[in-house]
Amino acid sequence: MKFFFLLPTALACLQIATAQIVLSSCTAPDSIIAKYKDDADRLAVRNIFSDSSSYMDSTHIPKSWSDTALNALIAIYNATTLPARDTVVSMFDIHTFPNPVLDNIIVAADSNLAWMHQLHNNIIPTGEPSVDSLINNYHLNLTDYFAWIFFPYHIVVFQSDSNYNIVALSHQFETILGVFYSEPDGYAGDGNNITDSVNSNFVELIYSYGWGDCPAGCGERRFWKFHVYYDCSVEYLGSYGSPLVITSIPEIISDTIKVHPNPFKEKLLIENTHSAYEYQLSNILGQVVRSGKTSETTISNLDELSKGIFFLRVKTCDQIEIFKLIKE
């Protein structure tokens, strides 16, 4: 159903913007799947918490959530006719920034506990059933033991050979008597990243490349936006952010859409769309007060709108822009 719904839209856009939507595939060799498996699991965990999903308390990452992200990542990997794909995949090899951590966990516990003495001596199983059960069930290997002289607890670091929702696993450790706290063994700093948003018709993926003292927070960053539809076709929506002067790979960068005047009274002038575009004008409550598709450069008859703040969303086949406007 989704294939037949999306195909006319794809063809229409292809007539307006060259090679913005291409057919692709969501299948790949095991080596490529392994290359993006951590990214897919990490995107799934991020969405679990951003959506306040019931899976927040589940240590296991839901496969359907991970597969949705993995299919989108593979589709972009396979979209070799898009120059932007070469930029984010071949040139910069962009992956998710490793936060949240998926396979490392810190446990701080009373150093006088018998099972902590066992871990200090690298003895597993420890003899404490609750601890040994978690170690066994989640394939945990002891990687570090820190003995803090001035604290009543020591810290152990475990690493798993599989990916999990480490926050949920931390909560399980915290139910054990004598554990002060448990948390993912996180990363500091900043770097390249992929973010996603799952919609009814497509998955939006935004790749970003950061530079400029990233350990303290990247001072410069460039973004590339893609929509992956559920027939695995890929739409490239353009790039934005800091100018990328270090790449010789051509990018499809559209002229910035401009809207004026602002404040406005009875009409808005739209520049640099170059073709038919869709628009939605919404009030501050999110109610759409005007919408349509046109190739005209003017949106008229706005004088009857009440004074206040409005948001205009303009969509062409190669970019989407949202403008905050004031009606006088």
- The CATH number for 129's domain is 3.30.70.260
Look at residue 8 in the predicted model and tell me its pLDDT: 39
Report whether 190 contacts 211 (CB < 8 A): no
**176 and 218 within one domain:** no
Collapsing DSSP to helix, strand or coil, 309 comes out as strand
**132 and 27 within one domain:** no
**94 and 50 within one domain:** yes
**38 and 151 within one domain:** no
Q: What is the pTM of this model?
A: 0.69
Q: What is the mean pLDDT of each run of 10 residues along the chain (328 residues)?
A: 36 42 93 96 96 95 97 96 89 93 95 95 96 97 88 92 96 96 85 95 95 84 94 92 60 65 89 82 73 88 84 75 78
**306 and 162 within one domain:** no
Boundaries of domain holding 305: 258-327
Residue 137 belongs to a domain: yes
**193 and 92 within one domain:** yes
Residue 229 belongs to a domain: yes
Residue 249 belongs to a domain: no
Look at residue 243 in the predicted model and tell me its pLDDT: 83
- The domain that contains 263 carries what CATH number? 2.60.40.3080
Number of domains in the chain: 3
Residue 277 belongs to a domain: yes
Look at residue 253 in the predicted model and tell me its pLDDT: 45
Look at residue 179 in the predicted model and tell me its pLDDT: 96
Residue 248 belongs to a domain: no
d(CA 265, CA 148): 67
Residue 108 belongs to a domain: yes
